[in-house]
Structures are given as C-alpha cells and as structure tokens.
Amino acid sequence: MGPFRDEVVRLCTIPGVDRVTAWGLLAEIGLNMNQFPSAAHLASWACLCPGTYESAGKRLSGKMLKGNVSLRRCLSQAAWAISMMKNNYLSALYRRIAARRGAKRAVMAVAHALLVIAFHMLKRKENYRELGVDHFDHIDVNRIRRSLVPRLERLGRGVTLEPLAQTAYEGIFVGGVSGSSSLGTQQAAQS
C-alpha cells in the first residue's frame, strides 16, 4: 500500500477508521472520486442510502439493498466502533438516531455518513475536521430553547434566560441567529 499511504493516513483521521478499514474502503471505491458526480451517487452505488418506496403518498419499506457487501461490512464495523466512542460528531449522530430509530438503523446511518465524509476527503485531499459532540445543539439554538424552557416549567422550575458574558461561538453565524445573541444560560430557580 505504498502508493496509497497518504490516503490511508488521511482516512485514519476519521474516528472509528483504522488502517484495515481505510484499505478496504480504498480497495472498493478507488482513489478517483471524479467517477462519482456527488457523494449521493457514491452512496447510491454502494447501496448505503435508505430506500424510498412510496405509494399513494404513504412511505412503505425503507429497506436498503445489498450492494457492495465488502464496503458495507467495512463501514458497518467502523460505525459499530463509533457507537462505543464518546465526544465526537459521529458518536453524537449515532446516539441521536439510535434514540429514535434503534441501534442497527443508526449504525447504517453512521456508515452512510462515513462514506460521504470519505468521499469529500478523497476528492478535496484534506483531513477530517471534527465538528464536535455539540454540533447538533448549535444548528438551531432557538428551537432547543423553545423546547427545553417549557419542559423545565412543566417540571415545576422557573426558568430565566440570560446571555453569557463570553461565548465560545461568538461571531459565528449559527441557525440564522448570531451566536452571541442566541446562546444563553438556563438557570432553574430553587423552589
């Protein structure tokens, strides 16, 4: 794997991906990402995208096809490894989906995310950038505030929202609202 050493090292920067997984991934999809117009085409080729069988407006089976079994096995093993990890974006994605849809569907969703990440890394020739475990919390801060404040009030707690003096996301545009004005603390009043 001498000529592919840079790509293997680059893919190993993804959490849950080791050398064997990176080698299997490169063996199955190759290095030339120009053969796929987009990451969605690669996911469709690998059959790692959910099926969309709909009739009369009713969604029926979302079963995935078999596709490339070796690639699916590599990415599924990496996704199971990610499911045991903490404090990274992919483990947060796993926990978010597993809570609603179950562990096996969450593993396939993380495998799909891994394939999309690998596509962009190989196409752009750049390393993995960690989004962080709290990435989903900063997508739509107002939605989270609207859901958590009434939830605390139903538990019998008074809630006061006050802006923090200094935030880690100050100046970053998040979810349609500037980071410093949208982030706040929630303090529950002692009853």
| Averaged pLDDT score across all residues of the chain | 78
Per-residue model confidence as pLDDT tens digits over 116-141: 999 999 899 888 888 877 877 777 77
What's the confidence (pLDDT) of residue 178? 36
Which long-range contacts (C-beta less than 8 Å, at least 24 apart) are formed by 17-24? Answer: 17/78, 17/114, 18/78, 20/74, 21/74, 21/75, 21/77, 21/78, 24/70, 24/71, 24/73, 24/74
pLDDT per residue as tens digits for the range 8-55: 888 888 888 888 999 989 888 888 888 889 988 888 888 887 766 677
Name the band, by pLDDT with cuts 50, 70 and 90, for residue 114.
Answer: very high
Largest CA distance in the chain: 66
54 contacts: CB under 8 Å, gap ≥ 6:
60
- pLDDT over threshold 60, residue 173: no
pLDDT tens-digit readout, 53-100: 677 777 776 677 777 788 888 988 999 998 888 888 888 899 988 998
**Chain position carrying tokens 């989270």:** 144
The three-class DSSP label of residue 111 is helix
Contact partners, residue 12, CB within 8 Å, separation at least 6: 18, 19, 22
